[in-house]
Amino acid sequence: MKTLSDKLLGGKQGVLGLALLALLIMVILPLGLDIFRLNLVGKYLTYAFVALSLVLLWGNGGILSLGQGMFFGLGGYCMAMFLKLEASDPISTKIQTTPGIPDFMDWNQLTALPWFWEPFKSLPFTILAILIVPTIFAYIIGFAMFKRRVGGVYFAIITQAIALILSILIVGQQGYTGGVNGITDLKTMLGWDIRTDSAKYILYYVNALLLFGCIFLSRYILTSKFGMLLLAMRDKEERVRFSGYDVSDFKIFTFCVAAMISAIGGAMFTLQVGFMSPSFVGIVPSIEMVIFAAVGGRMSLIGAVYGTLLVNYGKTVFSETYPELWLFLMGGLFIAVVMFFPDGLAGIYQKHARKIPFLKRWVAEEKQKQTDAHASHGKVGTKLGAEA
C-alpha cells in the first residue's frame, strides 16, 4: 500500500529526480551564479510553475490550454497591485495632481483609487486574491466549457482567445491597469525593499520552495485515484463517464489547480522582477509555456522545470546574438520535440537512466516488490479457493 511519503516523492525514481533538481536549484545555481544571473534563473523558475500546471492539465489530463498566461498574469497583477499601492504613498507621489494613487492613474486623469484597487492595500487579501481570483476565473471558463463537453482543439482555441481578450483589455484600460507598460516601479513589500541583493536571494529561495511545494501537490494529485482517472479520461473519456464519474467535474478541478499554480508563478515573477505587464498574459507567452512543458516532457513534473530552464537559457543566449532568429528556432524546436521526442527531456532521461547499472537494480527492486505483493495475494486467493 502506498504511504503518503511515497505519494509525494513518487517512489525511488521520484526521490532521485527530486534530489537532483533540489541540488541544482538550491545549491549549485546559487553558488555558481552572481545575483544578477541567479535572479534571471529565478524569473525562469516562475515560468516553470506554468509548465508544471501544463503537465497536470495537458500531459496527464489531455486538456491543452493555450491560455495559461492569463492565470500567470492574473497572479502577477494581483501582486503588482499591492506593491504599487505601497509604492504610491502620498509623500512619494506628492507632485501628482492626485497624490496617493499610482502614477499611471494620475497620468490618465483618474482622481480617486478605483474601488477594486482598494482591498489590495492589504497583504493578506492580496495573497488570497492571488490564489483565488485566477481559480474562480478558471472555474467559470471550465464550467462553461466542460459541462458542455467542449474539449480538444476547441478548448485550446477558446482559452487562447480568452487570453488574447484579457491582454487587450489590460492594454486598453490604461487608467486602471497601467496599459501596455504594465505596473512598474515596484519598490517595497511591507517596507522591505525587494530590489536589494539580499532580498533577491531570499525571494529566489522562497520561489524555489514554492515550486517544490507545487511539485509535491501535483505529485499527490497524480498518484491518487484522481491522477489515475485523469489518465483514464485522456485515453477513453466515454469509458470513465460510463463507469459512474462526472468527467466534467474532474476537468474543471484540474483546470482550477493548474490556474492556481500558474498564478503563484506570476506573483513570484512580479516580486523578483519588479514589474508585471500584459506581455505575459497574451497568446505568445501562453504558447511559450506549452513549449517549455513539451521540451521537458509533458508527462514529467520535474522535466517541466528542466525544460523551462533549458529553453530560457537558449533564449537568453540566442536572442542576444540573433534576436530575429529566436522565434523561428523556438518554433522549430517545438516541432522537433513533438515529432521526434514526444516525451521530451524526461523521456530521453528515462530511456538512458535505465541503462545505468546501479539505477537499474535500484528501480527493479521496487518493481519486483510490487509484483510480489500481487502474486502473494493471488496465492492466498487460490489457497482459500482450495480449502473451500
Partner 1 sequence: MSNTDFILAIEDLTVSFDGFKAVDKLNLYVDKNELRVVIGPNGAGKTTVLDLICGKTKSTSGSIKFKNKELTKLAEHEIVRAGVGRKFQTPSIYENLTVYQNLEVSYPRGRSVWGSLLFKRSDDVMARVYKVAEEILLKDLLDMEAALLSHGQKQWLEIGMLLMQEPELLMLDEPVAGMSAKERDQTAELLNRICQNRSVIVIEHDMEFVKKIAHKVTVLHQGKILAEGSMDKVQADEKVIEVYLGH
Site for partner 1, rule CB under 8 A:
1-2, 220-221, 224-226, 228-229, 231-232, 234-236, 238-239, 241-247, 249-250, 253, 370-371, 374, 377-378, 381
Angle at 197 between CA 192 and CA 203, to 5 degrees: 65
Least Å distance between CB 18 and partner 1?
21
Per-residue CA distances from 320 to 37, 93, 316, 328 (Å): 15, 36, 6, 15
DSSP 115: G
Determine whether 40 is exposed, middle or buried from the number of CB atoms within 10 Å of its CB (0-12, 13-18, 19+). Answer: middle
Report the distance separating Cα 37 and Cα 28, nearest Å: 13
Q: Residue with C-alpha cell 516553470? A: 48
Cell digits for 254? 484540474
Q: Which is closer to partner 1, CB of 14 or CB of 182?
A: 14
Find the shortest distance in angstroms from Cβ 311 to partner 1.
Answer: 27
Nearest to 151 by CA among 233, 74, 29: 233
Give whichever of 129 and 247 is closer to partner 1, judged by the CB atom.
Answer: 247
Toward partner 1, which CB reaches closer, 361 or 374?
Answer: 374
Is residue 230 within 8 A of residue 254, CB to CB? The reply is: yes
Q: How far is the CB of 356 from partner 1 (least distance, A)?
A: 23
Q: Work out how close the CB of 371 gets to partner 1 at its nearest, in angstroms, rounded to a whole number.
A: 5
Nearer residue to partner 1 within complex by CB, 95 or 386: 386
Please state the closest distance from residue 204 (CB atom) to partner 1, in A.
31
Closest approach, Cβ 236 to partner 1, in A, equals 5
- C-alpha to C-alpha distance for 160 and 154, rounded to whole angstroms: 10
* Least distance CB 372 / partner 1 (angstroms): 10
- Kindly report the length of the chain: 388
Q: How far, in Å, CA of 308 to CA of 289, rounded?
A: 8
Tell me whether residue 355 or residue 377 sits nearer to partner 1 (CB atom).
377
Q: What is the DSSP string of 55-105?
A: IIIIIIT----S-HHHHHHHHHHHHHHHHHHHHT-TTTTTTSSSTTS-HHH
183 in helix, strand or coil?
strand
Q: Please state the closest distance from residue 239 (CB atom) to partner 1, in A.
A: 4
Considering the complex, state which of residue 243 and residue 316 has its C-beta at the smaller distance from partner 1.
243
Work out how close the CB of 380 gets to partner 1 at its nearest, in angstroms, rounded to a whole number. Answer: 8
Task: Between 250 and 306, name the residue whose CB sits nearer to partner 1.
Answer: 250
- 322: enclosing H helix or E strand: none
The SS3 call for residue 188 is strand
- Of 242 and 328, the one with the shorter C-beta distance to partner 1 is 242
- Minimal distance, residue 290 CB to partner 1, in Å: 21
Do 263 and 255 form a contact (C-beta atoms < 8 A)?
A: no
Q: Is the CB of 34 or the CB of 238 nearer to partner 1?
A: 238
Q: Which three cell numbers stand for residue 146?
A: 466542460
| Nearest CB to partner 1, comparing residues 137 and 255 | 255
Contact 157, 118 (CB under 8 A): no
Cβ proximity of 326 and 288 under 8 Å = no
Record the cell numbers describing residue 179, joined without a space: 496599459
Q: Which of 267, 227, 260, 292 is nearest to 56 (CA)?
A: 227
